[in-house]
Amino acid sequence: MGNRGSKQQVDGRRQSVRGRATATAVPKDTKKAYEMLCERLKELSALGGISGLLGWDEMVMMPAGAANSRGAQKSALAGVMYDKKTDPTLGALLETLRAAPAGALDPVAAAVVRDASKDYVKATALPKELAQRIARLETDAYPAWVKAKQASDFSIFAPFLKEWVEVNKEKARLIDPSAPAYDVLLDDFEKGLTSARLDAVFAQAREGLVPLIAAIKSRGAKLDDSWTHGEFDVEAQAALCKKIALDLGFDTEHGRLDVSVHPFTGGAHPTDVRMTTRFKKEDVMEGITGAIHETGHALYEQGRNLEYDGLPVNSALSMGVHESQSLLWERMVGLSKPFAAYLLPLLKERFPATFGSATPQQLYEAENTIREPSLIRVESDEVTYPLHIILRYELERGLMDGSVQVDDIPRLWNEKMQSYLGATPPSDAKGCLQDVHWSAGLFGYFPTYTLGAMYATQIYAAAAKDIPGLEDKIKAGDFAPLKSWLNVKIHKLGSLHASGDELMTAVTGGPLDPSVFLTYLKNKYTELYKL
Which residues are catalytically annotated?
294
Q: Which is nearer to a second copy, 22 or 424 (CB)?
A: 22
Residue 371's CB is within 10 A of a number of other CB atoms, namely 12
- Minimum distance, C-beta of residue 384 to a second copy, in the bound complex (Å): 24
Residue 372's CB is within 10 A of a number of other CB atoms, namely 11
- Minimum distance, C-beta of residue 165 to a second copy, in the bound complex (Å): 14
Pair type for strands 265-269 and 272-277: antiparallel
- Minimum distance, C-beta of residue 296 to a second copy, in the bound complex (Å): 11
- Minimum distance, C-beta of residue 51 to a second copy, in the bound complex (Å): 7
CA-wise closest residue to 524 among 381, 388, 422: 381
Q: HSE of 207 in the Cβ direction (CA atoms, 13 Å)? A: 8
- Minimum distance, C-beta of residue 255 to a second copy, in the bound complex (Å): 6
CA-wise closest residue to 209 among 386, 379, 335: 386
DSSP for 222-282, please give it.
Answer: ----GGG-S---HHHHHHHHHHHHHHHT--GGGEEEEE-SS--EEEEETTEEEEEE--BTT
Q: Which is nearer to a second copy, 197 or 322 (CB)?
A: 322
Q: Which residues of 64-93 are buried (b: 16+ CB within 10 A; e: fewer)?
A: eeeeeeeeeeeeeeeeebeebbebebbbeb
Q: Is 283 helix (H, G, I), strand (E, B) or coil?
A: strand
Q: Which is nearer to a second copy, 284 or 316 (CB)?
A: 316
Q: Which is nearer to a second copy, 225 or 251 (CB)?
A: 251
- Residues 6 or more apart in contact with residue 347 via CB below 8 angstroms: 240, 284, 354, 355, 358, 363
- Minimum distance, C-beta of residue 248 to a second copy, in the bound complex (Å): 17
Q: Which is nearer to a second copy, 323 or 365 (CB)?
A: 323
Q: Which is nearer to a second copy, 286 or 309 (CB)?
A: 309
d(CA 223, CA 529): 8
Question: How many Å is the maximal CA-CA distance in the chain?
Answer: 74
CA-wise closest residue to 239 among 191, 288, 193: 288
